[in-house]
Amino acid sequence: MASSSTSVVVSNKEKENKNTKKVTLKSSDGESFEVDESVAMESQTIKHIIEDGCANNEIPLPNVTSGILSRVIEYCKKHKEAAGESEPSVTSYTSNSTTNPLTEWDTEFVKVDQNTLFDLILAANYLDIKGLLDLTCKTVADMMKGKTPQEIRETFHIKNDYTPEEEAEVRKENQWAFE
């Protein structure tokens, strides 16, 4: 017992030392966010920028607004904490709820309006944050489950490029999926 608490103390100290390294991320609308480098490196895109030595004072992220960036940073912070002081981890959403302690937090995190959800997908894709991408994509998939093709087209503004005959044929071939 004593030895394990000692090692926790040691690693906290290590944590403090590592955490002094910070990086600034700048959103498309000009807002700056200072974050721990280790948290920022949850994003593979940012990780490569830093490792390539291209991060000077600030890393500009022209594709991400401040509203979205702040949420992304919140996600990364939470997941980094949960993973401990090891390398930036890739916490995949596909792990089931009994093994992923953040499932409840994640579920609350994606309770946002659909526009925000889509913007989070775009940000997670651009910033290459696997866990966030898996989580947001799965959320959209859950919204789609059980819908008819017409409902999908309406919800997501997809153009139907089938002719009525073509559509009838594809539907007939796959009729069982509609039952």
Q: Where does this chain touch another protein (CB under 8 A) — which range of 13-21, 42-50, 83-91, 116-124?
A: 116-124
Name residue, tokens 């997809």: 158
* Binding of another protein by 100 (CB under 8 A): no
Instruction: Single out the residue of 7, 17, 56, 115 in contact with another protein (rule: CB under 8 A).
Output: 115
Q: Does the footprint of another protein cover residue 112 (CB under 8 A)?
A: no
Site for another protein in 10-29 (CB under 8 A): none
Residue 126 CA: distances (Å) to CA of 72, 87, 152: 12, 21, 25
Task: Kindly state the smallest distance separating residue 45's Cβ from another protein, in Å.
Answer: 13
Query: Dihedral of CA 151/152/153/157: which sign?
Result: positive
107: contact with another protein by CB under 8 A: no
Choose one: 3-11, 13-21, 40-48, 166-174; the region binding another protein (CB under 8 A): 166-174
Q: Which listed residue (86, 161, 164, 165) binds another protein by CB under 8 A?
A: 161
Interactions with another protein, residue window 56-85 (CB under 8 A): none
Pick from 6, 94, 97, 107: which binds another protein (CB under 8 A)? 94
Residues 113 and 28: beta-carbon distance below 8 Å: no
Site membership for another protein, residue 174 (CB under 8 A):
yes
Per rule CB under 8 A, is residue 162 in the interface with another protein? Answer: yes
CA–CA gap between residue 155 and residue 145 (Å, rounded): 12
Summarize as ranges the residues that interact with another protein (CB under 8 A).
94, 96, 114-115, 118, 121-122, 125, 133-134, 137-138, 140-142, 144-149, 152-153, 155-162, 166-167, 170-171, 174, 176-178
